Each structure stands twice: as structure tokens, then as C-alpha cells.
Amino acid sequence: MAISVIQVFCPVLFCSFYSFYVLLVNLDPSFQFFILTDTHFVTMKVKVISILEDNYMYLVIEENGKKAIAVDPAVPHRLLDIVKREGVTLDAVLTTHHHWDHARGNENLAKEVPGIQIYGADDRIGALTHKVVHKQELKFGTLNVRCLFTPCHTSGHMCYFVWEDGCTDAPAIFTGDTLFVAGCGRFFEGTAQQMYKNLTEVLSTLPLETKVFCGHEYTVKNLKFALKVEPDNVKVKEMLAWAKARDDDDKPTVPSTLEDEFQYNPFLRLSEEAVQKFTGKTDPVEVLSILRAEKDKFKKPKERLPTPAMLAFQWALSMANSETLQGPTDRNMTKK
């Protein structure tokens, strides 16, 4: 999958300042030096990098200072190539949890980038230099990070809420394997009660415009399950068509926004009548528990082959069965 770049920036602010600057220079050139030295156009760029079978790692770049932090860089050599190409300095790694497909690159990065800081909430994370706790805040230049503890998928799972000083555009949340586009993570080391708290008390309280960058590309399968849960949800149908098109073009479906997720993610719609009807429960924790159990068993419907392809497949199958019943031909028989 190709690398996709999502730039978080302040276009309206830029245009307003630029127009104001041009006006002042035309009126009085003496204003030029003041404006050029005191005006900052802050930008944060998030590079979405597809790795392994369906994982994402991320590079968050502070454009002004040319600093960067990485999230779950499981393929370090690829990350370092991008860091070099972008001309930035990699200062830190944010690890959501200890699973190999998220944390396996830490040791190599620690060797390749002396002094790099590696953050996480679980002692099982390789090369960990800074163990963080819930609501702890970190700062990297103009980038701000708030650590949000979300145990359940693993007992030491941490999400990272990131925003930049001076920029009015939407912040970002890196959710690892806690929240996906239209889904949530498995409860490997936790309970439905914990995941309920993660989703409703921790993540759902963030600004609605927050961009969600998750750890895997599971969107199509998640939306097919969502459609099973809410067959009349128009937004689910629209998103599924969009996600299939993105998948066909080998493009990522991240980021979504929290506002989007509330419209089609069944794990964030626990009080909806259709979701409760699907689970047969009304208590939200019980609804979540049954949803996750059903999702664990769910297999997305296989796409039907086009008619000519299906006929060709059936013909080949019938020929193979015919040869099996008739036995080997004279050509293949061993002479005595």
C-alpha cells in the first residue's frame, strides 16, 4: 500500500495573514520586517505508512522545527528512510502496546538513533526509556502529547492525543488496537467494562473533530459487521462503499473522525435501538460484550465471482472431479 500524507494545517489563518501582509506592504513598506519576523504558520504533518499485512505506523512531523515523533514504528528501516527523505530529526517513539507488530522496531531504532526516547505504559515494550501514565503530557517542540491509558486489548495499552501549539486545525488521536475505523480491539487482557470505559469515558470525551489514526486497516470487514448489526444505517452503507473503493485503489481509510465514528461504529452506538436489538441486551456493558463476541466469530461475506468466472470455475471443478473418478490415464500408468 502506498504511503499517504495527511497534512494538518491552518489555511484560513495563512490566507488572512498573507492578505493583511500584502495590504500593509503596499501602504507602508516599513511594516514588512515586523510581519516577516513575528508571524508563524504552524503546521503538523502526519505520514500514514502501511506496513506488514495490514498495520499502520505513523510519523508526526513538526514542520517549523523539522522535528518528528513516530507511533508504533514496527518496520524501522522503512521509517528511517522516510525520516531521511523528509529531512527531519526523529526525537521519540510513542508505543501503544507491546505486541510485536507495533513494538518490534524499538530495539533497532534505539541502536540506529542514539538517545532516542521511547515511551509506553507497559514494561513488556522493548527498549522502553520512559514509562508513562494516564493523562501525562509530553512536549516535543510545538507538538503536545497527552497519554490516555486504555487497558483491555492489552493491560498496558496507551493511546496518544496530539495537537500543536498555535494551530486551530483538528487534533489527532493515535488509538493503536483500542479503537478502529468502525470497530474496536479484542479484549485479550481485559474486560468489557474496561473497554466501555476506554470508549465512552476516555476517547469519546475528546473533541468531535479529532482525527482517528488506528493501528490496522480493518475498515471493510468492520463495516460489513456494522451493516449486519444495523442493516438500515445509511451511513454504514455509504462508508462501506467508500471503503471498498479505497481498498480497491490500495489506499488507506484512515483517518476518520470521532464525529464520523459515532455515526457508524456499533461499539460507540451502544444505546441505539438497532444495536440493542441485535445483542438482545440494553445494559451498555453487556451490549458491548456481546457485540465483541459476535465480531470475534464474524467472517465477512465472500464476494461473489462474476458469472463467467463462476461458470469457468465450476467447469474446472467438474473436470477435476471427473478425472478423479475415472482414475489415471494410460499415459500416467506404470508399465509392468
> Cα separation of 102 and 38, whole Å?
41
> Cα separation of 330 and 333, whole Å?
5
Q: How many CB atoms lie within 10 A of CB 63?
A: 20
User: Which entry of 91, 153, 169, 260 is annotated as an active-site residue?
Assistant: 153
User: 45, 60 in Cβ contact below 8 A?
Assistant: yes
97 annotated active-site = yes
User: Which entry of 72, 169, 216, 260 is annotated as an active-site residue?
Assistant: 216
Which of 6, 1, 136 is closest to 61 using CA atoms?
A: 6
User: Which entry of 98, 102, 122, 169 is annotated as an active-site residue?
Assistant: 102
177 annotated active-site = yes
CB neighbour class for 70 (10 Å; exposed up to 12, middle 13-18, buried from 19): buried
> Cα separation of 76 and 73, whole Å?
6
Q: Are strands 4-8 and 44-51 parallel, antiparallel or unpaired?
A: antiparallel
User: Which entry of 99, 122, 169, 260 is annotated as an active-site residue?
Assistant: 99
Handedness of CA 125, 129, 134, 137 (dihedral sign): negative
DSSP string covering 3-29: -EEEEE--HHHHHHHHHHHHHHHHH-G
Show Cβ contacts of residue 98 under 8 Å, excluding neighbours closer than 6 positions: 120, 122, 124, 125, 126, 154, 156
User: What residues pair up with 131 in beta bridges, in sequence order?
Assistant: 120
User: 227, 237 in Cβ contact below 8 A?
Assistant: yes
99 annotated active-site = yes
> Cα separation of 224 and 242, whole Å?
12
Which of 103, 100, 203 is closest to 150 using CA atoms?
A: 203
User: Which entry of 91, 101, 122, 260 is annotated as an active-site residue?
Assistant: 101
User: Which entry of 72, 91, 177, 260 is annotated as an active-site residue?
Assistant: 177
The strands making up 211-214's β-sheet, listed across from edge to edge, are 137-140, 143-149, 158-164, 172-176, 211-214, 256-257
153 annotated active-site = yes
Any idea which residues carry the catalytic annotation? 97, 99, 101-102, 153, 177, 216
